[in-house]
Amino acid sequence: MIRLSVNINKIATIRNARGGNVPDLAKAAIDLQLYGAQGITVHPRPDERHIRYKDIEELRPLITTELNIEGNPIPAFVDLVLKHKPDQVTLVPDDPGQLTSDHGWDTLKQRDFLIGIINRFKKAGIRSSIFVDPDIEMVKGAKETGCDRIELYTESYAAEYASNKEKAIKPFVEAAVLARELGLGVNAGHDLNRENLRFFAEKIPWTAEVSIGHALIADALYYGLDNAVNMYLREL
């Protein structure tokens, strides 16, 4: 079964809107795992508009499933990851002022940079994944960086799903097949939701995990966290 890692950035966004500790991010992480989430994802950004660097210190000992820290590998991020040693680090080429992740790495132009960063994580025993678009050349380039997995950036799949789901999934299947042939694990994330998740899972059943935050937390406003987690698990 494809694992579900819940991104808790949006819970932190709500907390930060009023200050204080409501909702309690640590309790949410614990509860999500009790409800069936098989991992917790956090994406700290330099402006700390949702997850703060200090949150990681509190969260790390509470994660009994899998902790995935994703972000742009600036020096402060690299230090954070090496200090807290998550189960997985996902490298994302975010610009500082970016609202949300909107593109994958150019694994050809940034090959040497990625090799250097990934080697540091490998020495620390941390599984590494890199965010890529569903592009054959980018997947080939990812293999050369030494990463363990790729995370397919699924925004284009989600955007086109309603109008032509077969066309939408095609480049993702091709990229995932190549990744498997190259010995790379496949993760996926961005704009996956209850409407498009099952089809993705059926077409790429060897996906190791999906990371879902915005849609799941939005659904939880109506159905509650427990119900929302299990609704997504059923889709997988």
Helix (H, G, I), strand (E, B) or coil at 186: strand
Q: How far apart are CA 79 and CA 111, in angstroms?
A: 21
Residues 6+ apart with CB under 8 A from 53: 44, 76, 80
Is 50 noted as a catalytic residue in this protein?
Answer: no
Helix boundaries (H) for 36-154 = 53-59, 75-84, 111-123, 136-145
Q: What is the DSSP code (8-state) at residue 62? A: G
Is 214 noted as a catalytic residue in this protein?
Answer: no
Q: What is the DSSP code (8-state) at residue 88? A: E
Is 58 noted as a catalytic residue in this protein?
Answer: no
Catalytic residue of the set 66, 190, 209, 235: 190
Q: How far apart are CA 64 and CA 66, in angstroms?
A: 6
Catalytic residue of the set 43, 50, 209, 235: 43
Catalytic residue of the set 66, 70, 151, 209: 70
Residues 6+ apart with CB under 8 A from 120: 78, 82
Q: How far apart are CA 12 and CA 157, in angstroms?
A: 27
Q: How far apart are CA 220 and CA 214, in angstroms?
A: 10
Q: Which residues are catalytic?
A: 43, 70, 190
